[in-house]
């Protein structure tokens, strides 16, 4: 997520809200209004999670939990839905969901920017042999291996916990040398005109033959990925508030009346 990205605000007409609480005692009105806003905000957040579960294939828990509510208070009758700006690994959820939220051309991923030196500035799509994680998504570990072996990490500020002097790294380099007698088992394949086509991984020779075993991991593509606006967060929030406004107001009015007894 870009720095200082604005939150998704809960829109409401203060005069319209306040008139619902005209019959309450003055001391109950501020709390009733803030409780109403928080009720709507939390309901809208849960609704967004439900939309993601139905819209996306096997969304991760990190993605599903991207939204949080800044609650309204009696002295500050504003509530909004924000999304977490941090990510322990990789990008914040908004970074990779923004094409679905806004529509249009997807910006380059961090790995695509790192691969520009070998891809000619192209985007990439997974090849048929690219490993997938439990959610059916491209394995981040495999991408890190590719970037490491092709020595692409120094081309930008991308950070990763990779120690070339660790025992594990030394063993991997030795297996690589034993497998093919060359420094790198990942290589860039090119078309007849010399343009980069994709990235393959050499895994040795087929048993009993001289044919090499290759895995097609990444294909470079010229066409920029374009997305329809399938997850319009601001519209979904507004729609939820419009449909549930009256019901939530009535619930909070009854709670306020009970407190006043």
Domain ranges of the chain: 8-104+227-260, 108-224
Residue 7 to residue 68: CA distance in whole angstroms: 10
DSSP calls for the chain? --TTPPPEE----HHHHHHHTTTS-GGGHHHHHHHHHHHHHHHHHHHHHHHHHHHSSS--HHHHT-EEEE--BTTB---EEEE----SSS--HHHHHHHHHH-EEPPPPHHHHHTHHHHTS-EEEE-TT--B-TTSSBPHHHHHHHHHHTT-GGGSS------TTSHHHHHHHHHHHHHHSSS-SEEEEE-TTS-EEEEEEEEEEPTTSSPEEEEEEEEEESSPPEE-----HHHHHHHHHHHHHHHHHHHHHHHHHHHH-
Mean pLDDT by 10 residues, the chain (261 residues): 56 66 80 91 96 91 91 88 71 79 88 94 96 86 92 58 47 47 74 94 77 90 90 93 92 86 71
Q: What is the predicted pLDDT for the residue at 33?
A: 87
Q: What is the predicted pLDDT for the residue at 65?
A: 92
Q: What is the predicted pLDDT for the residue at 117?
A: 92
Closest by CA to 56, choosing from 241, 227, 213, 247, is 227
Confidence (pTM): 0.66
Q: What is the predicted pLDDT for the residue at 6?
A: 61
Q: What is the predicted pLDDT for the residue at 60?
A: 86
Residue 91 to residue 1: CA distance in whole angstroms: 7
Q: What is the predicted pLDDT for the residue at 2?
A: 41
């Amino acid at each position: 997520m870009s720095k200082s990205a604005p939150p998704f605000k809960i829109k409401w007409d203060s005069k319209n809200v306040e008139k619902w609480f005209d019959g309450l005692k003055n001391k109950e009105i501020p709390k009733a209004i803030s409780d109403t806003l928080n009720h709507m905000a939390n309901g809208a957040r849960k609704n967004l999670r439900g939309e993601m579960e139905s819209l996306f294939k096997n969304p991760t828990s990190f993605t599903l939990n991207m939204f949080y509510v800044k609650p309204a208070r009696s002295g500050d009758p504003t509530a909004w839905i924000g999304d977490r700006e941090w990510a322990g690994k990789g990008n914040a959820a908004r970074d990779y969901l923004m094409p679905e939220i806004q529509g249009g051309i997807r910006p380059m991923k961090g790995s695509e920017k790192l691969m520009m030196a070998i891809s000619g500035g192209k985007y990439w799509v997974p090849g048929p042999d690219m490993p997938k994680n439990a959610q059916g998504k491209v394995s981040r570990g495999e991408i890190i291996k590719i970037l490491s072996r092709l020595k692409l990490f120094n081309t930008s500020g991308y950070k990763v916990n990779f120690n070339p002097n660790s025992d594990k790294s030394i063993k991997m380099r030795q297996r690589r040398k034993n497998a093919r007698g060359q420094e790198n088992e990942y290589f860039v394949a090119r078309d007849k005109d010399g343009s980069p086509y994709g990235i393959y991984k050499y895994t040795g020779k087929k048993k009993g033959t001289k044919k090499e075993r290759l895995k097609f991991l990444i294909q470079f593509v010229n066409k920029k990925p374009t997305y329809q606006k399938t997850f319009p967060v601001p519209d979904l929030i507004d729609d939820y508030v419009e449909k549930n406004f009256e019901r939530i107001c009535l619930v909070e009015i009854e709670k306020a009346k009970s407190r006043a007894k």
